[in-house]
Chain A
Amino acid sequence: MAELFWLIPLIPGGSSLLLVLFGTKLSRRWVAWQACSAVLLSFLLSLAAFIHLARAPLKSPGLSKTLLPWISSGAFSSPVAFTFDHLAAVMALVVTGVGLLIHVYSTAYMAEDRSNARYFAHLNLFTFFMLVLVMASDLVLMFVGWEGVGLCSYLLIGFWFERPAAAKAGMKAFVVNRVGDAAFIIGILFVLTNMGSSSFASINEAAGSGLLRPGLATLVAILLFVGATGKSAQIPLYVWLPDAMEGPTPVSALIHAATMVTAGVYMVCRLSGLYAASIPASTVVAWIGAATAIFAATMALVQNDIKKVLAYSTISQIGYMFIGCGVGAYAAGMFHLVTHAFFKSLLFLAAGSVIHALAGEQDMRRMGGLKKHLPVTFPVFLVGALAISGVPFLSGFFSKDAILTSAFAGGHYVLYGLGLLGAVMTAFYMFRLVYLTFYGEERMTPKAGHHIHESPRAMTIPLVFLAAFSILAGYVGLPVFFGGKADLFGRFMEGSVKTVTHHLAVSTEGLLVVLATAASLLGIALAFVFYRRTPALPGRLASRFPGVYRLLVGKYFIDEVYDAVVVRPLVRGAETVYERFDLKVIDGALNGSAAAAGLAGKGLNFLQSGLVRDYALAFLIGAIIFLGFLLL
């Protein structure tokens, strides 16, 4: 089984092709079954390959297979080759596992949509490209997957393209990602021109051995990271993700929470040798991550749209992953990626269940008191919220603690402090969401209130699975506090990524755990005070600090600034070019040449008299001239 691992991406890819070609002719049931079973097959293969890898001795290179030669130019070559090592195994399991649950959930969520074949075709296509990204053994092939998932993201955000907001959000995501990808491609080109191979192994080795000059390594690392800020929605290119919530909720869960947006983190871990070799680049990664974690968390504090809160929270959590990568704890970053994939897709899907129950309502101001109406959704949502808040003994607690402990142990005390502050805010906005949605009086519109119902089994069962993983996933990576052998995840990752071992006294480590716990409990307590005990308090606070409140509600007006600084000058420039150059120069040249031809025609008109004799005369004169040349 394990040697068939190269089929993992190809199965959903083939299924997608079938759905694109014949989707409209197949029945809804068939479409749903085919899409789900393709991902299930991929998942089973990933599991088989993972078990094969787990049984192999530690630090074994993993499975790899070259499918076909692709680019071969001079000294450079880049084949289509897949690698299934420890890092890819973890990510492939997340993509196919969470993907499978989301596919199943979608069968119910999208049951009434008339384009459900298109939906599943795109969802399968996404799975294909994501797995190509994950399993690619070199940078160029990864870029193919990287662009492919961007395309699918565009297609699925704009899935309901009749809605102008959705179409616009899709375009925004695509264009913003283009900015990052431009830098990414320049980074790849630097690798191509300086090395004969773009395989991850050779890049990591070249950076580690100094074959790649340190300056160049930093440049490449930073350029690639700029690409990651686009894909993973970090400062300054995060602006597309909140708008991306226009897509169907399962899409938000799969693409914009669990998998695609974490591709940047995955890329940094893949190239851990390169990033570890460049301290400036790592510093940039860590600080951008920390800044984003805080910045996005503050914006999540005041959002009223249930999905937007989760979107900002995703941005913030990915910031944490980058802190982990930036301080050299790549395994911790990946660990948080995995646990986040579980609890954030759980939160999104549960939010989708809430939205489904309220017939499309997303504004938390028109929710409340849903606890008793949604007996399955509420407890699983609570599990997700507790996990992301970092309440002890749930997955988020362990992974966030792993990152913060690494930051502290590496001597990055400011980063640690920012992370802790972010953790307070995370707990606060998550429980604000819980209290506004599930507690208090019911504020639904009469129509939505009448509609309330718990979601069907196909939606609640994936939720329960994800909730179970959100609780249990943390136990594969217990902190050193519980003994070094307990960190199964970290030890498994050693096979593929750089690892640092930090030495902290057990008492220090215990203190950090207590601090992290205190931070999350503080956030929850604050939310309780603000939104449960004295619900008037937020309003009073908002009127007390109107400036701060407006700044947060306006999302720091970053969209407006980008609009004024980038978008509008570009649009105006394009308009000017259109008016001055396109209309005048290009159209002018075209019309001018047509007019010149017309004039010449009119001028030479008299030559065509219609008289045979005139033509014969011209012929005769021509013949005489020709003969004259020939003879003289």
Chain B
Amino acid sequence: MIPAAAFFILAAVLFVLGILAFFVKKDLLTQFMAVEVMLNAGNLAFLALAKSLGKAEGQVIVLFVITVAAAEAVIGLAIIVLVFRQRKTIQTDELKDLKG
């Protein structure tokens, strides 16, 4: 039986890794993947809580999050493809036309 704490630690590590990856990487696709990692770190935390508290709500929420994340991935990836078609690049440092 793996203790609940281990799940939490794993979730935290994944989340921090996601943050780090978001700030370190410069292309939109990888940053998007980093966001997905953070999202799933959250999912993991939900599942761990659901298991340790013995309640089903956490698992239900995870199912919702996965559904929403799927939809969000479709739109996000489509945007990235369109950006690449328009600009021939997905480097975020070069996409700064909205500078004030």
Which of the candidate stretches B48-56, B60-68, B89-97 sits at the interface with the other chain? B89-97
Partner of A613 from the list B92, B97, B98, B99 (CB cut-off 8 Å) is: B92
- A607 adjacent to B19 (CB under 8 Å): no
Distance A605 CA – B96 CA, assembled complex (angstroms): 14
Partner of B99 from the list A610, A617, A620 (CB cut-off 8 Å) is: A610
Distance A609 CA – B96 CA, assembled complex (angstroms): 7
Task: Tell me which residues across on chain A come within 8 A of B96, comparing CB atoms.
Answer: 609-611
- B92 adjacent to A605 (CB under 8 Å): no
A612 CB within 8 Å of chain B: yes
Within 8 A of B (CB), among A586-618: 605-613, 616-617
- A607 adjacent to B31 (CB under 8 Å): no
Within 8 A of A (CB), among B2-34: 19, 22-23, 31
Interface centre among B19, B31, B96, B100 (most CB of A within 10 A): B100
Given the known A-B contacts A612-B31, A613-B23, are A607 and B100 also in contact in the complex, defined by CB atoms under 8 Å?
A: yes
Distance A608 CA – B19 CA, assembled complex (angstroms): 21
Query: Closest A-chain residue to B34, C-beta based?
Result: A616
- A610 adjacent to B22 (CB under 8 Å): no
- B98 adjacent to A608 (CB under 8 Å): yes
Partner of A610 from the list B23, B31, B98 (CB cut-off 8 Å) is: B98
- B92 adjacent to A620 (CB under 8 Å): no
Partner of A616 from the list B23, B93, B98 (CB cut-off 8 Å) is: B23
- B100 adjacent to A611 (CB under 8 Å): no
Q: What distance in Å separates the Cβ of A89 from its nearest Cβ neighbour in chain B?
A: 79
Distance A222 CA – B22 CA, assembled complex (angstroms): 86
Query: Closest A-chain residue to B100, C-beta based?
Result: A608
- A610 adjacent to B19 (CB under 8 Å): no
Query: Closest A-chain residue to B35, C-beta based?
Result: A616
Query: Closest A-chain residue to B99, C-beta based?
Result: A610
Task: Tell me which residues across on chain B come within 8 A of A607, comparing CB atoms.
Answer: 100
Q: What distance in Å separates the Cβ of A307 from its nearest Cβ neighbour in chain B?
A: 71
Given the known A-B contacts A617-B23, A620-B19, are A612 and B92 also in contact in the complex, defined by CB atoms under 8 Å?
A: yes
Binary contact track B33-45/A, C-beta < 8 Å → 1, others 0: 0000000000000
Task: Tell me which residues across on chain A come within 8 A of B97, comparing CB atoms.
Answer: 610
Task: Tell me which residues across on chain B come within 8 A of A613, comparing CB atoms.
Answer: 22-23, 92
Distance A610 CA – B96 CA, assembled complex (angstroms): 4
Q: What distance in Å separates the Cβ of A514 from its nearest Cβ neighbour in chain B?
A: 99
Distance A612 CA – B93 CA, assembled complex (angstroms): 8
| Contact-size category for B | 10 to 19
Query: Closest B-chain residue to A623, C-beta based?
Result: B19
Query: Closest A-chain residue to B93, C-beta based?
Result: A611
Distance A611 CA – B31 CA, assembled complex (angstroms): 13
Task: Tell me which residues across on chain B come within 8 A of A605, comparing CB atoms.
Answer: 100
Q: What distance in Å separates the Cβ of A494 from its nearest Cβ neighbour in chain B?
A: 87
| Contact-size category for A | 10 to 19
Partner of B92 from the list A606, A611, A617 (CB cut-off 8 Å) is: A611
Task: Tell me which residues across on chain B come within 8 A of A617, comparing CB atoms.
Answer: 23
Distance A451 CA – B100 CA, assembled complex (angstroms): 78
- B95 adjacent to A612 (CB under 8 Å): yes
Within 8 A of B (CB), among A563-606: 605-606
Task: Tell me which residues across on chain A come within 8 A of B99, comparing CB atoms.
Answer: 608-610
Distance A81 CA – B5 CA, assembled complex (angstroms): 85
Distance A15 CA – B56 CA, assembled complex (angstroms): 77
Within 8 A of A (CB), among B62-100: 92-93, 95-100
Interface centre among A606, A608, A609, A612 (most CB of B within 10 A): A612
Query: Closest A-chain residue to B92, C-beta based?
Result: A612
Distance A613 CA – B93 CA, assembled complex (angstroms): 9
Task: Tell me which residues across on chain B come within 8 A of A612, comparing CB atoms.
Answer: 31, 92, 95
Distance A611 CA – B97 CA, assembled complex (angstroms): 9
Q: What distance in Å separates the Cβ of B96 from its nearest Cβ neighbour in chain A?
A: 3
Distance A606 CA – B100 CA, assembled complex (angstroms): 7
Task: Tell me which residues across on chain A come within 8 A of B100, comparing CB atoms.
Answer: 605-610
Distance A620 CA – B23 CA, assembled complex (angstroms): 11
Q: What distance in Å separates the Cβ of B84 from its nearest Cβ neighbour in chain A?
A: 15
Distance A611 CA – B99 CA, assembled complex (angstroms): 8
Q: What distance in Å separates the Cβ of A616 from its nearest Cβ neighbour in chain B?
A: 6
Task: Tell me which residues across on chain B come within 8 A of A616, comparing CB atoms.
Answer: 22-23
Q: What distance in Å separates the Cβ of B61 from its nearest Cβ neighbour in chain A?
A: 19
Q: What distance in Å separates the Cβ of B51 from its nearest Cβ neighbour in chain A?
A: 23
Q: What distance in Å separates the Cβ of A166 from its nearest Cβ neighbour in chain B?
A: 59
Task: Tell me which residues across on chain A come within 8 A of B92, comparing CB atoms.
Answer: 611-613
Query: Closest B-chain residue to A615, C-beta based?
Result: B98
Q: What distance in Å separates the Cβ of B97 from its nearest Cβ neighbour in chain A?
A: 6
Distance A158 CA – B100 CA, assembled complex (angstroms): 57
Q: What distance in Å separates the Cβ of A516 from its nearest Cβ neighbour in chain B?
A: 92
Task: Tell me which residues across on chain B come within 8 A of A620, comparing CB atoms.
Answer: 19
Q: What distance in Å separates the Cβ of A435 from its nearest Cβ neighbour in chain B?
A: 87
Distance A613 CA – B20 CA, assembled complex (angstroms): 11
Task: Tell me which residues across on chain B come within 8 A of A610, comparing CB atoms.
Answer: 95-100
Q: What distance in Å separates the Cβ of B41 from its nearest Cβ neighbour in chain A?
A: 14
Interface centre among B31, B95, B98 (most CB of A within 10 A): B98
Q: What distance in Å separates the Cβ of B35 from its nearest Cβ neighbour in chain A?
A: 9
Task: Tell me which residues across on chain B come within 8 A of A611, comparing CB atoms.
Answer: 92-93, 96
Query: Closest B-chain residue to A614, C-beta based?
Result: B96
Distance A612 CA – B79 CA, assembled complex (angstroms): 15
Distance A607 CA – B99 CA, assembled complex (angstroms): 9
Distance A122 CA – B27 CA, assembled complex (angstroms): 77
Q: What distance in Å separates the Cβ of B8 from its nearest Cβ neighbour in chain A?
A: 15
Q: What distance in Å separates the Cβ of B25 from its nearest Cβ neighbour in chain A?
A: 10
Q: Please name 18 pairs of A and B residues whose Cβ atoms are closer than 8 Å in the assembled complex, sorted by A.
A: A605-B100, A608-B98, A608-B100, A609-B96, A609-B99, A610-B95, A610-B96, A610-B97, A610-B98, A610-B100, A611-B92, A611-B93, A612-B92, A612-B95, A613-B22, A616-B22, A616-B23, A620-B19
Of all A-B residue pairs in the complex, the 5 with the closest CB atoms, nearest first, are A610-B96, A608-B100, A610-B99, A610-B98, A605-B100
**Sample of 4 further A-B pairs with CB below 8 A, known A609-B100, A610-B98, A611-B96:** A606-B100, A608-B100, A610-B96, A610-B99
